[in-house]
Structure 1
Amino acid sequence: MKIIDLRSDTVTLPSDSMKKAISSAPLGDDVFGEDPTVNALQERAAEITGKEAALFVPSGTMGNLISILSQCARGTEIILGDQSHTFLYEGGGVSTYGGIQSRQLRNQRDGTLDLTDIKNAIRTKDDHFPETGMICLENTHNRCFGAPLSISYMNSVSNIAKEHHLKIHVDGARIFNAAVSLNTSVKELVSVANSISFCLSKGLSAPVGSLVCGRQEFIAKARRIRKSLGGGMRQAGIIAAAGLEALDIMIERLKDDHENARKLAEGIQNISGLFLDLNNIHSNIVYFEIKTENGKTFLERMAGNGVLFFQISPGIFRMVTHYGITSEDIDRVLKLLEDELS
């Protein structure tokens, strides 16, 4: 029995072409800047995002942490969403390692922060308050239904940031999903951002790694902080090779994941006892609700039938489509859901 793993797009396995690239990658010492495969990946990432330079890091969490620490001094404050990955799921790193305070604003259902809320959260010049240093955004937004942030919204936030001399960092773990969803380029989506991090091991299906992109001076500082956090790797081209291949072959096919998510959502909507709003289906993430079922036992029964997914909060479940999920898998999931709830 095939296991249909919808827990996250992080469970994706590298393609055969990635494995081949790994086995033949030219290598060097990346801490010395001498790994040609890592250098090629960083150049490619900078080109795709429209930034001057890029830095390969082991994880998205480290990428976000490095981006914030490189641009915000100790004792300053960042503005970010109360449902953001950086706030909820990154171990409080900005405060633990950077001495930086987080000011959380309520995320809207579409992943945005209300522009008026942002303006009101920016600290006035007063010795009682920490100085605001940065606005952090997430695109697509994991906890907000995989919603993408539009170019027009990014421009509006940029206008506020410029007026108050603030930096903008984008947690773009799934930025390529956002670009596909909005039928635009990553370069356009992040043009106003001072820094952007994106993940290779989610929808792009590489085994490990993220990229941080921005201006040359920022990347130089980010490299130093990466080293201090233990993120400097030696012959890292072995894993960077898979990332290069992912950027070549995986971006265009993300639309298949979005189509499978839409098919899954439409099927769930037609199953008695399951509830979702199709207006909340934007990319490859599907949230749905069960109002009467015991969540733990429901997950256990579905797992027993080979279908894995998460309960995010009581009665609220999440499924994520990805490279390892086919249209036929969606048919099977829907049949099993219907059987379980009939």
Structure 2
Amino acid sequence: MVHCNKRGSEALLGDCSHIFKYEQGGAAHLGGVLLSTLRNKPDGTFDLKEMESRIRGFDIHEPVTNLVAVENTHNYCGGKVLPMTWLDELADLCKKHSIPIHMDGARLFNACEYLGEKPSNVVKHCASVSVCFSKGLCAPAGSALAGSYHFIEQARRLRRMLGGAMRQVGVLAAPALVALDEIVPLLGFDHKRAFRLAKVIEGLFLDSFAVDVENLHTNIVLVRISENSPLTSEVVLQRLMEVCQSETMNDCKTENNDGVIVRGTHFNDKTLRFILHHDITDEDLWLAIMKITYVFKELDKNKQAAKKNQII
């Protein structure tokens, strides 16, 4: 709403971006901003030639394109990190047309860990950037918006209008500082654990489940269910949260003989997501791997048996 401060303004962004998919059209509902989407590629980028061709405002009948928004890391694409060269090219185009860039950097520090770059370098072309302290940084809550002095002045006014002001914000700032000082340096361990989980799932060689290990960038593991399988992500996630006696008999349990449950996120009917973070230890990961291995093999075996019966 700061960047698109005239009603009828347009923002260009990816069709799989969080702002477009998961915010109930809030930009239009609250700010009168038209969100126009560009097709996201698997790496979280979009075609820059298409973007330039979609810039509007030269005709009196058109909305005015006042913003381009990117997401880094890209959640729906599996924690992908936007290439620095692509961001440079995007910045050149936006500068040419005098359009600011906003970065949804909810997981910005994961992107920096992967790239080996400082946050200031990753966001150097952006007029504004948002970061989240609870996604992977282990703070209980809290996000922040960064921009120029004038930008933040205007953002504070809009926040007040939307009811977002908080006098007791120090209770959020304190754990956010801990997150920056103590958790950010450890993000690499989350990435390694995610890679370990992905490699195990890949190594099961099951027909029903697949992971793109080669293109795994950060702490998000997307598991794809084969299109010809009757399984859905909701069925798989429900089974991962159940404990049956046969699991504990096969050592899928804790030291206290408790059953293991694994929670994930439903992305679509054929995709589920696992996220690794600081509170998931190596021991937790091992238990999760045992549970996932057991359940995936069970479901894949059941699918194969059903298929065989159908043929008979």
SS in 2 for 1:253: helix
SS in 1 for 2:241: helix
Moved more, 97-106 or 150-159: 150-159
Task: Return the offset for 1:266.
Answer: 0.4
Query: Residues 245 and 166 (structure 1 numbering): CA distance in 2 closer, same or farther, change over 3 Å?
Result: same
Q: Distance in 1 between matches of 2:41 and 2:124?
A: 23
Count of residue pairs brought into register by the alignment: 274
In the alignment, does 2:212 pair up with 1:280?
Answer: no
Q: Distance in 2 between matches of 1:257 and 1:143?
A: 18
- What corresponds to 1:338 in structure 2? 293
Task: Return the offset for 1:90.
Answer: 1.2
For residue 123 of structure 2, the aligned residue among 174, 190, 195 is 190
- What corresponds to 1:310 in structure 2? 265
- What corresponds to 1:111 in structure 2? 44
Q: Aligned AA for 2:149?
A: Q
1:223-262 alignment, distance < 5 Å: 223-262=156-195
Task: Return the offset for 1:333.
Answer: 2.0
SS in 1 for 2:185: coil
1:68-83 alignment, distance < 5 Å: 69-72=1-4, 73-83=6-16
8 Å CA contact 1:151, 1:188 repeated in 2: no
Q: Aligned AA for 1:152?
A: T
Q: Distance in 1 between matches of 2:235 and 2:70?
A: 35
Offset from partner CA, 1:306-337 (integer Å, 9 cap, x none): 11112211121110111111222222222222
- What corresponds to 2:236 in structure 1? 298
Of all paired residues, the percent bearing the same amino acid is 38
8 Å CA contact 2:224, 2:271 repeated in 1: yes
Query: Residues 197 and 294 (structure 1 numbering): CA distance in 2 closer, same or farther, change over 3 Å?
Result: closer
SS in 2 for 1:311: strand
TM-score by length of 1: 0.78
Offset from partner CA, 1:36-70 (integer Å, 9 cap, x none): xxxxxxxxxxxxxxxxxxxxxxxxxxxxxxxxx01
SS in 2 for 1:161: helix
TM-score by length of 2: 0.85
1:209-228 alignment, distance < 5 Å: 209-228=142-161
8 Å CA contact 1:136, 1:171 repeated in 2: yes
Offset from partner CA, 1:223-263 (integer Å, 9 cap, x none): 10010111111122122111111111011111111001100
RMSD of aligned Cα (Å): 1.2
For residue 208 of structure 1, the aligned residue among 141, 144, 162 is 141
In the alignment, does 2:52 pair up with 1:97?
Answer: no
Task: Return the offset for 1:125.
Answer: 0.4
Q: Distance in 2 between matches of 1:146 and 1:135?
A: 20
Structure 1: gaps (5+ residues): 1-68
Q: Distance in 2 between matches of 1:188 and 1:88?
A: 28
Structure 2: gaps (5+ residues): 243-259, 299-312
8 Å CA contact 1:150, 1:189 repeated in 2: no
1:51-62 alignment, distance < 5 Å: none
Task: Return the offset for 1:105.
Answer: 0.5
Q: Quick check: which has more Rg, 1 or 2?
A: 2
For residue 140 of structure 1, the aligned residue among 66, 73, 76 is 73
Offset from partner CA, 1:171-213 (integer Å, 9 cap, x none): 0000000000111111000001000000011111111111111
8 Å CA contact 2:234, 2:269 repeated in 1: no
Q: Distance in 2 between matches of 1:94 and 1:299?
A: 32
